[in-house]
């Protein structure tokens, strides 16, 4: 409501908020707001996410608020610099999201240990950089939590027992205690059987030294930098199951106390081990040569070195750690020797940009003295401070990488291992970097909000490589990746040339490349090796399957009801005796995805999912591909996760699909949704619009739609949100103010007051 009104600080303590259900983003970026809100009635509020995000001055007593209906407190006090009030009495029994709740709230340190957290599923970044926080959380029920990524990241004061925590659902513990400089508690009893990523979990946790040998690590895939710079850690880990781990890069980097036998570890899946023991000065590097063939092959240069001199290889690093100068910086002795163990971390975008510019501009292909002895000096100087390989640079504190490699036409360094978990903006990052084609699929872009022009002009980069990444949904959201969706049925991996297939990897697409959206079917549903039905030529076949069973096939050019069997079609074909067809149609995950699909569906030149007579070849490809993934009938589409439907059908003058059954319970804005949709006249009176705050111009130019049909709706929200002078409005301005005072929260109060 007051989002980004940085100077707003009026007294609104007497407002009647008894009917308000959504207070999300209300004071977002309200940098000067600091007024009493203690008397507000919040008994109906369900959403408080981002409410005081970046409200830097706010520090009022709101501990008596009724939060019993709130489900999301995500980012609620993120960057609320001054806030430090008692919240111990809050009822959090319905809260499911607490991610980033106190992130970057440096002053907060209040007892919240009695909170009911039994429904919470995400606590990622919850106390990240909450540098004062040190309260007892031992009684929290975290049994439903799946994500603890960066939970106590640089929570520099936190050191409380967590041994009672039950963590059976947690899959991500990356950076969990990174930079938690005083944390040293026994957490050996934790259930880690589902954890996939422990990367940097104790990175820079300088005093942590607790037993972890009993942890079940059977599912872990990544352990990179897990104990990096954990200078006190020296505990047995020999019982760990590491069979699935693929990355151990710099795992014990600068863990100067560590000296344990890991010879029992199964490292057959490890692909990246560089610098694993680099700087671990207590660890006898040579012992790995006696740990088996897998270890020897990963430390080949070390194990083949029979000299008695101290080892100069640490995994795949090239040189021994350098000495430091009087200022504690790596000393290259004027010879351009790269740092390897005490490399400096980048603190800002400006520092990183300066180093990148110098590194890329240097006239050499590696950090080595050129034949002239001069052109590589800049690169050598940078290497001596930050590291010889750009891919090893420590960028975890950088939050802005905008235009970092812009117009560097020859740049193509491998930076796949960069920790970009703090980055907020990547605008123009690789703009016109024409040669860049490295794999970025493992990057953690969970905090990124801006990627405008990120790959513009990066002609070599394959955007579809991001579709299969661990952050695929985030990439799709940020980049509007068309590559992650089909553009025609003919490109999908379920259009075969082969009469029989063992699984989708054996199938050959009719034309084009297999796209990620089609591969989603592969990941979810197996195909048994059975003959496809013969409704048409094999290469024209669209095929569907359920729970491993082939359920039918139809001719693309003359679809039968089997094509719609995940929608409304009847069971037919070779497998008519199989169990009822239960394959789920894909849900829409973002407003961008929905808008793109709606546009394709509405503009396809056919009236149903069938080949039009005018073309006979290609005009319905888009509609068929959409139907195969989302559903044949638009009214059956799953849109329950979409929160923005603004201008969804704007200017679609012929659109008149029945969408009365859509679940719009998550939608916040419907601004301009049917603007100039001249033919639309469907009944949407049963829609749940309880979270909607903006309907500005929703039916403007929708000349066929009967607004008065909404006046009799069971939801009074229609009356509250539609313009006060429309059919649902009272006749007098006074009544409008009295009846619709809640309109203030939808930005319409001024209109009503003027009637």
Q: Read off the pLDDT band of 604 (50, 70, 90).
A: low
Whole-Å CA distances, 708 to 456, 535, 568, 662, 694: 47, 49, 32, 20, 19
- Greater pLDDT, 317 or 721: 721
pLDDT in tens, 450-486: 888 888 878 788 876 776 666 666 787 777 554 443 3
Of the listed ranges 248-262, 335-349, 648-662, the one predicted with least confidence = 335-349
Mean pLDDT for the stretch of residues 38-60? 93
> Residue 510: pLDDT above 50?
no
Q: Return d(Cα 575, Cα 261) in angstroms, integer.
A: 57
Whole-Å CA distances, 464 to 207, 517, 518: 43, 10, 12
Give percent above pLDDT 70 in the chain.
Answer: 68
CB 753 within 8 A of CB 733: yes
Look up tokens 């975890």; give the residue: 396
pLDDT in tens, 397-446: 898 898 899 888 889 999 999 999 989 889 889 988 888 999 898 898 88
Of the listed ranges 218-222, 451-455, 661-665, 680-684, the one predicted with least confidence = 451-455
- Greater pLDDT, 722 or 618: 722
Position 694 scores a pLDDT of 87
3-state secondary structure (DSSP) of residue 165: coil
Position 69 scores a pLDDT of 95
- Greater pLDDT, 746 or 344: 344
Q: Return d(Cα 440, Cα 123) in angstroms, integer.
A: 25
pLDDT in tens, 71-99: 999 999 998 999 999 999 999 999 999 99
Position 628 scores a pLDDT of 59
Residue 643 in tokens: 């929160």
Position 209 scores a pLDDT of 97
Position 6 scores a pLDDT of 63
Tell me the backbone φ, ψ of residue 669, rounded to 5 degrees.
Answer: -130, 135
> Residue 7: pLDDT above 80?
no
Position 378 scores a pLDDT of 66
Of the listed ranges 551-560, 583-592, 660-669, the one predicted with least confidence = 551-560
**Which of 180-189, 483-492, 563-572 has the largest mean confidence?**
180-189
Position 350 scores a pLDDT of 83
Residue 239 in tokens: 């019982």
pTM to 2 decimals?
0.48
Mean pLDDT for the stretch of residues 128-137? 94
Position 245 scores a pLDDT of 92
3-state secondary structure (DSSP) of residue 562: helix
CB 259 within 8 A of CB 233: no
Choose among 589, 574, 566: nearest CA to 467: 589
> Residue 548: pLDDT above 90?
no
Q: Return d(Cα 404, Cα 547) in angstroms, integer.
A: 47
- Greater pLDDT, 490 or 39: 39
- Greater pLDDT, 595 or 499: 595
CB 212 within 8 A of CB 236: no
3-state secondary structure 25-90: CCCCCCCCCCCCCCCCCCCCCCECCCCCCCCCCCCCCCCCCCCCCCCECCCCCCCCCCCCCCCCCC
**Helix 472-479 vs helix 591-603: crossing angle, to nearest 10:** 70
pLDDT in tens, 108-121: 999 999 999 999 99
Paired with 197 in beta bridges are: 172, 222
pLDDT in tens, 218-228: 999 999 999 99
Mean pLDDT for the stretch of residues 318-331? 37
- Greater pLDDT, 266 or 389: 266
Q: Mean pLDDT for the chain?
A: 74
Burial category of 293 from C-beta neighbours within 10 Å (exposed 0-12, middle 13-18, buried 19 and up): exposed
Position 520 scores a pLDDT of 30
Position 481 scores a pLDDT of 56
Mean pLDDT for the stretch of residues 515-537? 30
């Amino acid at each position: 409501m007051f989002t980004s009104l940085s100077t707003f600080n009026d007294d609104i303590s007497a407002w009647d908020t008894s009917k308000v259900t959504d207070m999300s983003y209300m004071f977002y970026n309200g940098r000067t707001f600091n007024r009493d809100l203690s008397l507000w009635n919040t008994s109906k509020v369900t959403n408080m996410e981002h409410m005081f995000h970046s409200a830097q001055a706010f520090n009022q007593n709101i501990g008596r608020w009724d939060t019993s209906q709130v489900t999301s407190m995500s980012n609620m006090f993120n960057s609320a610099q001054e806030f430090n009030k008692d919240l111990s009495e809050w009822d959090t029994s319905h809260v499911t999201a607490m991610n980033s709740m106190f992130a970057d709230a440096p002053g907060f340190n209040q007892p919240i240990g009695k909170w009911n957290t039994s429904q919470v599923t995400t606590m990622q970044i919850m106390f990240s950089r909450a540098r004062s926080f040190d309260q007892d959380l031992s009684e929290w029920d975290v049994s439903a939590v799946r994500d603890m990524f960066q939970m106590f990241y640089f929570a520099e004061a936190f050191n409380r027992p967590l041994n009672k925590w039950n963590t059976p659902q947690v899959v991500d513990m990356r950076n969990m205690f990174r930079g938690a400089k005083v944390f040293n508690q026994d957490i050996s009893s934790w259930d880690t059987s589902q954890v996939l990523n422990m990367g940097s979990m104790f990175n820079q946790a300088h005093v942590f030294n607790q037993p972890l040998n009993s942890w079940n690590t059977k599912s872990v895939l990544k352990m990179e930098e897990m104990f990096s710079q954990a200078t006190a850690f020296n505990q047995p880990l020999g019982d760990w199951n590491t069979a699935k781990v693929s990355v151990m890069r710099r795992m014990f980097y600068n863990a100067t106390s560590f000296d344990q036998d890991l010879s029992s570890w199964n490292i057959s899946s490890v692909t990246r081990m560089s610098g694993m023991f680099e700087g671990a000065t207590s660890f006898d590097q040579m012992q790995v040569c006696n740990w088996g063939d897998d270890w020897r092959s990963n430390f080949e240069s070390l194990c083949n070195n029979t000299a008695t001199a101290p080892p100069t290889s640490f995994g795949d690093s090239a040189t021994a750690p350098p000495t430091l100068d009087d200022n504690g910086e790596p000393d290259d002795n004027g010879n351009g020797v790269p740092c390897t163990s005490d490399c400096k971390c980048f603190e800002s975008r400006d520092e990183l940009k300066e180093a990148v510019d110098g590194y890329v501009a240097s006239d050499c292909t590696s950090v080595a003295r050129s034949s002239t002895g001069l052109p590589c000096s800049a690169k050598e100087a940078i290497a001596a401070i930050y590291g010889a390989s750009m891919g090893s640079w420590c960028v975890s504190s950088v939050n802005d990488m905008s235009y970092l490699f812009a117009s560097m036409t020859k740049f193509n360094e491998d930076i796949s291992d960069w920790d970009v978990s703090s980055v907020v903006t990547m605008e123009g990052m690789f703009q016109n970097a024409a040669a860049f084609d490295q794999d970025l699929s493992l990057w953690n872009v969970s905090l990124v909000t801006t990627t405008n022009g990120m790959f513009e002009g990066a002609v070599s980069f394959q955007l579809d490589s991001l579709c299969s990444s661990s952050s695929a949904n985030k990439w799709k959201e940020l980049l509007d990746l068309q590559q992650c969706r089909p553009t025609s049925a003919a490109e999908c991996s379920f259009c075969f040339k082969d009469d029989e297939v063992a699984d989708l990897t054996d199938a050959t697409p009719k034309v084009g490349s297999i796209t990620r959206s089609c591969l989603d079917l592969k990941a979810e549903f197996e195909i048994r090796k059975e003959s496809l039905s013969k409704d048409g030529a094999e290469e024209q076949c669209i095929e569907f399957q359920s729970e491993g069973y082939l359920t039918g096939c139809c001719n693309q050019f003359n679809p039968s009801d089997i094509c719609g069997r995940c929608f409304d079609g009847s069971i037919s074909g070779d497998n008519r005796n199989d169990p009822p067809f239960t394959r789920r149609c894909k849900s829409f995950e973002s407003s961008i995805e929905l808008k793109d699909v709606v546009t394709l569906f509405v503009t396809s030149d056919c009236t149903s999912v069938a080949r039009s007579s005018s073309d006979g070849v290609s005009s319905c490809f888009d509609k068929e591909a959409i139907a195969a993934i989302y559903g044949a009938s638009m009214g059956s589409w799953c849109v329950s996760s979409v929160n923005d439907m603004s201008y969804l059908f704007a200017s679609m003058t012929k659109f008149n699909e029945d969408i009365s059954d859509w679940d719009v319970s998550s939608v916040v804005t419907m601004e301009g949704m049917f603007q100039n949709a001249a033919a639309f006249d469907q009944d949407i009176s049963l829609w749940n619009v309880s979270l909607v705050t903006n309907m500005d111009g929703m039916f403007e130019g929708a000349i066929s739609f009967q607004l008065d049909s909404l006046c009799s709706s069971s939801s009074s929200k229609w009356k509250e949100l539609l313009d006060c002078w429309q059919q649902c409005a009272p006749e007098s301005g006074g009544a409008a103010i009295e009846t619709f005072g809640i309109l203030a929260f939808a930005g319409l109060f001024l209109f009503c007051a003027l009637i």
